[in-house]
Chains A and B, each alone.
Chain A
Amino acid sequence: MKARTVRLWSVVHTWTSLISTVFLLLLCLTGLPLVFHHEIDQLLGYAPQPEAHASAAHATTQQVADAALAADPGRVLQYISWDKYEPGIVTAFTNSTVDGLPDNTTVRAFDAVSAKLLGPVGVGPMLIVLKLHTDMFAGQAGKLFLGAMGLLFAVAIVSGVVLYWPFTRRLRFATIRDRASRRVVWLDWHNLIGVVTVAWALVVGLTGVVNTWAELMLNQWKATELASMVAPYAGKPPPSHLASLDGVVARAKTAAPGMEIAFIAFPGTPFTSSHHFAAFMRGDTALTSRLLKPVLLDGETGEVADSRALPVYLQALLISQPLHFGDYGGVPLKVIWAALDLLTIVVIGSGLYLWLARRRKRAPVRSGAFARRASVPS
């Protein structure tokens, strides 16, 4: 590789890293507790626990909906969801209007058997950490900005791999030259940790970028696929009364055999039309439980209106989520995720140190050259 090419890649690596450094540190530091958010919420008492029951007969969906509305008088239901990993809990989302702002949504957990209110969900310190991680309290603009930082991170990783060759070709793999200066030692650690974590960092970085586009993708789906699915209902007013939720659930299950309900979106919410319930169904394998299939049901009659697989870009979004969160391989994978997060912090920190050390090293040379020039008699 020519010296000029190395310098060019070095400039790309330096500046893509430097511009994104502060935000990447923020993402890594907030991402670390988020890996264990469930455990932390449990420890701090913010995770509702289901009651112990002798009977396994679950409450009906309508009973849960009635309990949710009773718990939040004057408000309306937006969604009811069932977590695959928390079968004893049903979660209900209420808001002042069906299309109310996400920040105004109240999320409560109900016992799946007795429909008793168990407590609020998504509150406590982890909510602040989550907001910092996803949008820095700046809404959609904050999300897209962090997505752009994620893209810079990806460019920094690729340029780092290119630079790995000229910096390490004379060394054995995993060499740390501890007889050299501190700067060289940190350069070796930076190169080693950077290159061994490259695949994980790229996957987590790019899936994070995809996640920042979630709302844009959802809007695209609504404008195209969903619009086409509800076209026969164009001009119909919102339902004057809602169909029984138990009927909606039963018909959705019939329309998607072998699948179970992940969540129901009520008419008028961002995930459906103003006239339809949307039941999002999931499969039972590790992969298909992540891929949702929407079933649209008439809001008044509960009859199935249409059902289609989600487009590729939304499926990619759904697949990207576990790959970003690391929550799909049990606690050991979470621990590994946290360790890789810490290693990424070391790479970012050592990169910053190397840049500062190089500047300090150059500064005396520059000032010396200036002094020599200044001393030349005119």
Chain B
Amino acid sequence: MMHGSPDSSRLWIRVFAAPVLLAAATITGLLAALLWGAVGQYVAWVTVGAPVLVAIWTLLRHSLDKGGLPKSGRHGRASLD
């Protein structure tokens, strides 16, 4: 499908690496709280909470970008010269 060349493999990894890692972390956390008692609970708080942190981090970055330097034109960044 998209693994024909090393370039497309690299592209596939770039697109899916973070989602796959987050999915693996989530599944690990969901099972950890079920299997490892109190320690598993702490693991779950971090790993199941990771997608929430990514969303919050993106929202903050997005808001800071918007509130930063004034934009040129309709959407672009202002020219400083």
A and B interact physically: yes
A contact set with B: CB distance below 8 Å: 1, 161, 164-165, 168-169, 172-174, 176, 178-180, 192-193, 195-200, 203, 285-287, 290, 319, 322-323, 328-330, 332-333, 336, 339-340, 343
Tell me the dominant secondary structure on chain B's binding face.
helix
Which of the residues A164, A200, A290 comes within 8 Å of B51, measured between beta carbons?
A200
Docked Cα-Cα span, A173 to B58, in Å, equals: 10
Known: A200-B26, A336-B45. 7 other contacts (CB 8 A): A164-B19, A169-B11, A174-B61, A196-B19, A199-B26, A199-B30, A287-B35
Docked Cα-Cα span, A285 to B39, in Å, equals: 13
Docked Cα-Cα span, A333 to B45, in Å, equals: 6
Docked Cα-Cα span, A330 to B12, in Å, equals: 37
* Cβ-closest 8 pairs across A and B: A179-B75, A199-B23, A196-B51, A199-B26, A329-B33, A173-B18, A195-B19, A336-B49
Min CB distance A181 to B, Å, is: 9
**In the assembled complex, which residues on chain A have CB atoms less than 8 Å from the CB atom of B45?**
329-330, 332-333, 336
**In the assembled complex, which residues on chain B have CB atoms less than 8 Å from the CB atom of A193?**
55
B69 interface contact, C-beta 8 A: no
**In the assembled complex, which residues on chain B have CB atoms less than 8 Å from the CB atom of A1?**
1-2
Docked Cα-Cα span, A176 to B60, in Å, equals: 11
**In the assembled complex, which residues on chain A have CB atoms less than 8 Å from the CB atom of B34?**
286-287, 290, 319, 322-323, 328
B48 touches A200 (CB 8 A): yes
Min CB distance A207 to B, Å, is: 10
A192 touching B58 in the complex, CB below 8 Å, given contacts A179-B75, A333-B48, A343-B52: yes
Min CB distance A156 to B, Å, is: 16
**In the assembled complex, which residues on chain A have CB atoms less than 8 Å from the CB atom of B22?**
196, 199
**In the assembled complex, which residues on chain A have CB atoms less than 8 Å from the CB atom of B11?**
169
What are 17 inter-chain pairs, A to B, with CB distance below 8 A? A165-B15, A176-B58, A192-B54, A193-B55, A196-B50, A196-B51, A196-B54, A199-B24, A200-B51, A203-B27, A329-B45, A330-B45, A332-B49, A333-B33, A333-B44, A336-B48, A343-B55
Contact indicator per residue, chain B 46-78, by CB within 8 Å of chain A (1) or not (0): 001111101101100110011000010011100
**In the assembled complex, which residues on chain B have CB atoms less than 8 Å from the CB atom of A336?**
45, 48-49, 52
A179 touches B76 (CB 8 A): yes
Docked Cα-Cα span, A251 to B2, in Å, equals: 62
**In the assembled complex, which residues on chain B have CB atoms less than 8 Å from the CB atom of A328?**
33-34
A329 touches B41 (CB 8 A): yes
B30 touches A203 (CB 8 A): yes
A174 touching B18 in the complex, CB below 8 Å, given contacts A192-B55, A286-B37: yes
Min CB distance B80 to A, Å, is: 18
A168 touches B15 (CB 8 A): yes
Min CB distance A370 to B, Å, is: 31
**In the assembled complex, which residues on chain B have CB atoms less than 8 Å from the CB atom of A174?**
18, 54, 57-58, 61
**In the assembled complex, which residues on chain A have CB atoms less than 8 Å from the CB atom of B50?**
196
**In the assembled complex, which residues on chain A have CB atoms less than 8 Å from the CB atom of B76?**
179
B51 touches A343 (CB 8 A): yes
Docked Cα-Cα span, A23 to B72, in Å, equals: 43
Which of the residues A200, A286, A333 comes within 8 Å of B35, measured between beta carbons?
A286
Residue of A nearest to B57 (CB): A174
Residue of B nearest to A330 (CB): B41
